[in-house]
Chains A and B, each alone.
Chain A
Amino acid sequence: GAVVSQHPSWVICKSGTSVKIECRSLDFQATTMFWYRQFPKQSLMLMATSNEGSKATYEQGVEKDKFLINHASLTLSTLTVTSAHPEDSSFYICSALGWSGPSGANVLTFGAGSRLTVL
């Protein structure tokens, strides 16, 4: 089945540094990838949608310069949290949309998430 690998699963960094999170579709080509943010005991909030080879579309209220998204290939999207601060600490989840399997089913698969802790 369709598998999405998200790395790192947990990262701790100092305030002011930048952190990159990778999202890879392992056995299918992801035409679109989505990035979500989840605070403790809350639901997933869509941050941005990225299509391969084009600029990401950000949801209202999400800072483009703070959360840089790159989708350079059909199997990789990255989220870079720039100049991270403690309020950026959260759980970030990616999902990938693509065609998978012999039947060519359109699948939407989630990564396992990345916990970011900014000290």
Chain B
Amino acid sequence: AQTVTQSQPEMSVQEAETVTLSCTYDTSESNYYLFWYKQPPSRQMILVIRQEAYKQQNATENRFSVNFQKAAKSFSLKISDSQLGDTAMYFCAFRNAGNMLTFGGGTRLMVKP
């Protein structure tokens, strides 16, 4: 079984600043995917970024990037130039070869003007 841990229940950042959300996971599988999802107040789950475990290069999507440390089983999300619209719950998720998603407990991010 997989476990995903997000150690920061809440975080805040000033608009235009950079913030990093932490995520660690535990698995015995070698083939898997990692994701960060955003859940705004509307509660719609929105995919922010994904990382294939076999890729060494860290994924990047505009202002969002990850620091994937496979040996340490760490998968942090960096948000640059934070915007008010980034305020949301962020969930780290692990997807195994059977396509099952396991979510972390979430981090509530507040971007302050």
Contact = CB atoms under 8 A, between A and B. Distances in A.
A78 interface: no
A32 B104 contact: no
A113 B42 CA distance: 9
Given A43-B91, A44-B91, A112 B103 contact: no
B45 to A, nearest CB: 4
A67 interface: no
Contact of A34 (B42, B43, B91, B101): B101
A75 interface: no
B99 A32 contact: yes
Interface in A42-93: 42-44, 46, 49, 91, 93
B38 to A, nearest CB: 11
Interface residues of A, number: 17
A13 interface: no
Contacts of A34: 100-101
A112 B106 contact: no
Interface string B36-56: 000000111100000000000
B69 to A, nearest CB: 22
B45 A110 contact: yes
B95 interface: yes
Contacts of B102: 46
Given A91-B43, A113-B43, A49 B100 contact: yes
Interface in A100-119: 108, 110, 112-113
Interface of A: 32, 34, 38, 41-44, 46, 49, 91, 93, 95, 97, 108, 110, 112-113
7 A-B pairs with the lowest CB-CB distances in the bound complex, closest first: A110-B45, A43-B103, A112-B44, A44-B103, A43-B105, A113-B43, A43-B106
Given A34-B100, A113-B45, 14 more contacts: A32-B99, A34-B101, A41-B108, A43-B91, A43-B103, A43-B106, A44-B103, A91-B43, A93-B43, A95-B45, A97-B99, A108-B99, A108-B101, A110-B45
